[in-house]
Chain A
């Protein structure tokens, strides 16, 4: 295999591996921009992955699967909202609780309904979001350089991959070009300003966590209905936390989020590709170091050694009308 092919393949798997991170990261962005911290991305993604695969295999439709994933994920997001917006509970505790409820119930329900050790039945092609061939992908395959880039890197992904990458400019547009985005950003910075402007802080924040629910649902659906042909227990494997790290790394901005997720996805792809094989110049790098790198980078960023990640000012603080 030529060096060029290796690069193309590594980049291709970078894209595949970044997609769930990117969707979850953008999901977190909506919530955290509105001032609600969410460490429950992991759980929502997992629950959605399960609900999606389960519904898809029962109803033989990828779309019904996706719909169910959204339903479940949004419900969990609303539980988080109920605890942290309505009851002004601790947002960290609430997010954590959701992660556990999701981790446990996906296995229990999976086992009870399908009896395959927590897996859902393998999905048939029509129950998954299949790869889409972009026009001309085959014809251009043999064109040097551009051909492989177009036909392998850009074409041939699932619909959800394109959704993920389109969600980046869309989120940017929502956040910075719409009334909803303006209010969303405002409520995460100074909810009192929003309140005195006559806008309901609670309703705004609820809408934000619903957006979070929808995007985590797509992330979960991608895992179980695209990346693998069904749900496997604990299949998110910390991706929700990496997405959280990416969100901080991106300083809560959508385009940065895409690059952060691509970086973290690339590290993952590289780790898989190398499997401990030595790198030129650096020598042998432990796979585990590559896996831990997103977290290490985030800690260093948080410590303020490379730039400063300033979270939305009202983040994590329940809004109480002050006397």
Chain B
């Protein structure tokens, strides 16, 4: 996705415009709150308190953020290659099978830290595999990757229900899921870190080691995109296919590799859900995180730091939203889905709506900062 190159200072481009877009999204969301007869300001206060007020809240916020960091990074890597991976949801879901198989095989045999690397590999391989077919079809046969990844989300849903219900579910169990995973597949919680800051004892929050994995992956994605040859090729291809061709970069190779990495990252989200929280593989384990990844990546400008911040914001909405629904029964957690949609709308589809106004504003303050001098005397 090419954006018109900057005629604004970087801080306006990467800071001001996303903030304005975000603010508009929240204002519209506030109108929805008004519509259901509640006070949006009070709602905001409850939300923030719910997310950060107590240790328990913070732990949950970070637990949810973990999911979104993975899926956000997944969307971002594809985005850098100019590809829109809308299939993170399916990739994460199918990756849950990879994680599940590893865990079911190892959880009674070895401790968690032995299972963990295998589970990461399982998630990555299954997630990447689910992204491979759409990638291949785009690169080699010209099928639109957006449509194929949507289709693959739906196919993943059917496939996983079949596998869970007909193959993995123990006979005796009512619920459609695998047996409970034992200690060897349960990731240690990290709640103690938050308790170090003097909060009260956190009882049940599933904030766990996969958060650290997410941070490592964010660093690795940064390294990949901005510090490796492959990342250089991915970005070149994403910005200009003609320049990539000129530089001898293979379209097929970049498309497929970027999507494999994207699928693998999305897949790792399932580790948090399975090994960190539910300790089983269950229906709809991705729970929409694949789609939130799109909002997160758009808001975070496809940069790992931005993605971590945006993920924490969405984690906060998730956790605070849960609290909010206790205080204001009219507002359930589905409020987040609206906000997510509005963020995608204003930070994505209407990304440039306010840009002309801001450019005019900047031009009237200081013409130089808008880069007018640079384009002077040059053919378009």
By a beta-carbon cutoff of 8 Å, the part of chain A in contact with chain B is 39, 79, 82-84, 87-94, 96-105, 107-109, 111-113, 118, 238, 241-242, 244-245, 248, 286-289, 291-292, 295-296, 298-299, 302-304, 311, 323
Question: In whole Å, how far is B341's beta carbon from the nearest beta carbon of chain A?
Answer: 3
- Chain A residue numbers with a CB within 8 Å of B37 are 112
> What is the bound-complex CA distance between A91 and B141, given in angstroms?
22
Question: In whole Å, how far is A300's beta carbon from the nearest beta carbon of chain B?
Answer: 10
Known contacts being A111-B330, A302-B147, is A289 close to B341, with CB within 8 Å?
Answer: no
> What is the bound-complex CA distance between A87 and B336, given in angstroms?
25
Known contacts being A39-B146, A90-B1, A303-B137, is A108 close to B338, with CB within 8 Å?
Answer: yes
- Chain B residue numbers with a CB within 8 Å of A288 are 158-159, 161-162
- Chain A residue numbers with a CB within 8 Å of B155 are 292, 295-296, 299
CB-based contact B337/A103 at 8 Å: yes
Segment among B54-62, B244-252, B342-350, B369-377 that sits at the interface with chain A: B342-350
Known A104-B338, A304-B142; further 15 A-B contacts with Cβ < 8 A: A87-B349, A87-B352, A88-B352, A93-B348, A96-B291, A96-B294, A100-B337, A100-B338, A100-B341, A103-B337, A104-B335, A107-B334, A113-B36, A286-B162, A287-B162
> What is the bound-complex CA distance between A99 and B348, given in angstroms?
14
CB-based contact A92/B146 at 8 Å: yes
> What is the bound-complex CA distance between A107 and B344, given in angstroms?
19
Asked whether any CB of chain A lies closer than 8 Å to the CB of B173, the reply is no
By a beta-carbon cutoff of 8 Å, the part of chain B in contact with chain A is 1, 32, 35-37, 84, 86, 133, 137, 141-144, 146-148, 150-152, 154-155, 157-159, 161-162, 166, 291, 294, 298, 329-332, 334-342, 344-345, 348-353, 380
> What is the bound-complex CA distance between A98 and B133, given in angstroms?
27
B interface, by DSSP: helix, strand, loop or mixed?
helix
- Chain B residue numbers with a CB within 8 Å of A245 are 151
- Chain B residue numbers with a CB within 8 Å of A118 are 332, 334
CB-based contact A105/B148 at 8 Å: no
- Chain A residue numbers with a CB within 8 Å of B342 are 97, 101
> What is the bound-complex CA distance between A107 and B338, given in angstroms?
10
> Which of A91, A287, A323 is the one whose CB lies under 8 Å from B380?
A323
In the complex, which residue of chain A has the Cβ closest to the Cβ of B341? Answer: A100
Question: In whole Å, how far is B148's beta carbon from the nearest beta carbon of chain A?
Answer: 6
> What is the bound-complex CA distance between A121 and B340, given in angstroms?
28
CB-based contact A109/B35 at 8 Å: yes
> Which of B142, B162, B349 is the one whose CB lies under 8 Å from A83?
B349
> What is the bound-complex CA distance between A302 and B332, given in angstroms?
39
CB-based contact A244/B349 at 8 Å: no
CB-based contact A108/B141 at 8 Å: no
